[in-house]
Copies of this chain bind each other. A is one copy, B any other.
């Protein structure tokens, strides 16, 4: 069996509609803007120091290191994003800029392959001395992903060579051998990067090293405990590891024993992504089963309705099952991207619409909330309920921002959004053994081969605002293949036509399967009715008990103070009230809003009363959650009471 895989990046075009608009924003605004941030040229933003650090390490300028242990990774993720952009939209100036940057990085790399400006400039004696906290291998992982992306986009091997030298150093340093370090990184990332590197270079030992890192993790004697002992810190754990201890780093017990997600959410998702990749490449059925089990645990017990994960602000961690508080949601943008990454990888194992449903939920809601409409400000934390005065006041909400900001001292999320949206085609389509699968619906086209015959699939749609997706199939010549179109789990009654004639849908695990000999100009229309749905959480989700979230298609809605006034908790939706969906072209860049009758309980004189004021009728307007906080500061909430 051959797994479905992403199309080459240049084979996918996104040219109209919502996702294309976001991708264009990332291409034209976010990536250049972040380059300014990485060069410390944005007034009022927290300083990055990333480019500066490399220039200093390369001897190109004097100066001191600025930032955190893992500062370099922000630059690596940006290079990855910029490379994706170059792959789909050639740009000589960006190409040259990247070449210059890569040359600086190559100059900064040490003779033995080591590359990390913090440890080169600040603590050269401490290399690999604190794998638990210092993220050296994590940073290396992001450079490896950047090197692979730059090579794939440009065919140039300058950065790939750098990261292979780095990976070779790591491969010599870590492992089970007598002169090797039996360690692994406190923040997973290098594992999935090494699998990518193995796939691109064909060098199997990179994959073997990824496997070693995963298998070794959490085994007894525990490497992090030994390492802490060597540093004279035995028995001491940093504060963010409260309650879970080394489980915060998925290292309290062997990874193979994990059945529930544990610890820091981004790390957990990155680890899972690597495990899914390894299970595929190594045809490890037991590991694949474990991955599916973990995915089920995450998506049936730990997932916000927005697709976010990680509910504990202290340590950015998974918490108890079903404990999904809206106000203290962490739901880090990066963790939502981790959900998207894992979903795509699971779809490569098995074409199941349920994976794509979660991918779409996370992408359209949690992840997109991370990015402002103007492409210049970002959220790290994505709560489902904000009362600004309270969020600013309560210590347990101190990481919640009520407005997006231009950059962060720890700026993992902004370039992560950039690299995801610059490679969105990877998530939209998959080449299957006998044709093409479409996971996400976005206006544009995809080129692939059916056997030896080149085929172009044109997609016209205003999804997710519109219900209709029109496909035009343009093979170079008539050819048989299977087109698999995802039937979203939220859609109760999809309809399909082929060249204008209604078709019975063959629903195979959430995909409409169309196998036939396709001729140029064949037309398929998929209609996905999008009534306004009231989504309820399982009764065990105590923070959402008795409340509903509004959803239309894949888009989860929220109410904002800008539309509904303050004290949003006083609003309730009558059970029988019907909300109408309307495309508002001038609102929030053009989006579908939901409007209808609601009631609002007025405030009274006394704090507690037996007979409260009667609710008064009001009009309610809900906007897409991902677009909140684009109109100044105000209250927001996703879960609404019914009355």
Contact = CB atoms under 8 A, between A and B. Distances in A.
Contact of A609 (B387, B536, B568): B536
Q: Which of A305, A314, A537, A607 has the most CB of B within 10 A?
A: A607
B320 A533 contact: no
A91 interface: no
A387 to B, nearest CB: 7
Contacts of A572: 546
A328 B398 CA distance: 15
B570 A540 contact: yes
Contacts of A395: 242-243, 312-314, 396
A569 interface: yes
Interface in A595-620: 600-610, 612-613
Contacts of A612: 536, 538-539
Given A396-B396, A540-B570, A610 B533 contact: yes
Interface string A367-403: 0000000000000000000010110011110100000
A569 B539 contact: yes
A152 B376 CA distance: 71
Contact of A603 (B396, B533, B540, B601): B540
A484 B545 CA distance: 46
A76 B600 CA distance: 51
B390 A320 contact: yes
A545 B568 CA distance: 10
A154 interface: no
Interface string A257-291: 00000000000000000000000000000000000
A389 B320 contact: yes
Given A389-B320, A393-B243, A396-B395, A567 B539 contact: yes
B545 A641 contact: yes
B328 A396 contact: yes
Interface string A298-338: 01110101000000111000011001000010000000000
8 contacts: A319-B390, A319-B393, A323-B393, A395-B396, A540-B567, A542-B568, A545-B569, A545-B641
Please give me the 3 A-B residue pairs with the lowest Cβ-Cβ distance, nearest first.
A542-B569, A396-B396, A539-B570
